[in-house]
Chain A
Amino acid sequence: MDAILLQILNGLDKGAAYALIALGLTLVFGTLGVVNFAHGALFMLGAFCAVSVGKLLTISAKIKDESVTFFDAYKEVPYLEIWWGDTGSMIIDYAVPLSILITIPVMLLIGLAMERGLIRFFYKRTHAEQILVTFGLAIVLQEIIKAAFGANPIPTPAPSAVSGTANVGAWFGLSGDISYPWWRLIYFAFAAVVAGAVFAFLRFTTYGMVVRAGMQDSETVGLLGINIQRRFTVVFGIAAVVAGLAGAMYTPILPPDYHLGMDFLVLSFVVVVVGGMGSLEGAVAAGFLLGILQSFASMNEVKQILPGIDQIIIYLVAVVILLTLPRGLMGRKGVMES
Chain B
Amino acid sequence: MSKKDCTPPNFSRRTILKASAGAGALGLGLTGTPYFFSRKAWAASFRNDPGNAASVKFGFNVPQTGPYADEGADELRAYKLAVKHINGEGDGGILNTMKPLALKGNGVLGKKVDYVTGDTQTKSDAARASAKRMIEKDGVIMFTGGSSSGVAVAVQSLAQEMGIIFMAGLTHSNDTTGKDKRRYGFRHFFNAYMSGAALGPVLKEEFGSDRRAYHLTADYTWGWTQEESIKNTTEGLGWETVNAVRTPLGAGDFSQYITPVLESGADVLILNHYGGDMVNSLTQAVQFGLRDKMRNGKKFEVVVPLFSRLMAQGAGENIKGILGTTAWNWSLQDEGSQAFVKSFGQEYGFPPSQAAQTCYVQAILYADACERAGTFYPPEVIRALEGFEFDGTGDGPTLYRAADHQCFKRVLVVRGNENPQSQFDLLKVVKEVPREQVTYDPSIFGGELGPYEV
Contact = CB atoms under 8 A, between A and B. Distances in A.
Interface of A: 2-3, 6-7, 10, 13-14, 65, 67-68, 70-75, 150-153, 155, 157, 163-165, 177-181, 183-184, 253-255, 263, 294-295, 298-300, 310
B289 interface: yes
A179 B288 contact: yes
A73 B338 contact: no
A6 B263 contact: yes
Contacts of A151: 64-66, 69
A71 B287 contact: no
23 contacts: A3-B260, A6-B263, A10-B256, A10-B259, A65-B423, A68-B422, A70-B338, A70-B342, A71-B342, A72-B345, A73-B349, A152-B69, A152-B70, A153-B280, A155-B314, A157-B316, A164-B287, A165-B289, A179-B289, A181-B288, A253-B253, A299-B260, A300-B245
Interface in B226-254: 243, 245, 252-253
B293 interface: yes
A179 B300 CA distance: 14
B35 interface: no
A295 B287 contact: no
Contact of A6 (B245, B262, B279, B346): B262
B306 interface: no
A155 B421 CA distance: 24
Contacts of B283: 155
Contacts of B255: 10, 13, 184, 253
B69 A71 contact: no
Contacts of A153: 252, 276, 280
A67 B422 contact: yes
A7 B259 CA distance: 8
Contact of A71 (B245, B316, B346): B346
A161 to B, nearest CB: 14
Among the interface residues A7, A151, A153, which one has the most CB atoms of the partner chain B within 10 A? A153
Interface residues of B, number: 41
7 shortest A-B CB distances, which residue pairs? A71-B345, A67-B422, A151-B65, A165-B289, A298-B256, A181-B287, A6-B259
A70 B289 contact: no
Contacts, number: 100
Contact of B279 (A155, A165, A295): A155
B188 to A, nearest CB: 24
A68 B424 contact: yes
A157 B253 CA distance: 14
A298 B342 contact: no
B345 A65 contact: no
B265 to A, nearest CB: 12
Contacts of B351: 68, 71, 73
B452 interface: no
Given A14-B253, A164-B289, A68 B259 contact: no
Nearest to B264: A300
Contact of A73 (B252, B256, B263, B422): B422
Given A153-B252, A295-B256, A298-B256, A71 B341 contact: yes
A241 B67 CA distance: 29
Contact of B345 (A68, A263, A310): A68
Contacts of B342: 70-71
Given A151-B65, A152-B276, A155-B314, A310 B423 contact: no
Nearest to B347: A71
Contact of B287 (A73, A163, A178, A300): A163
B350 interface: yes
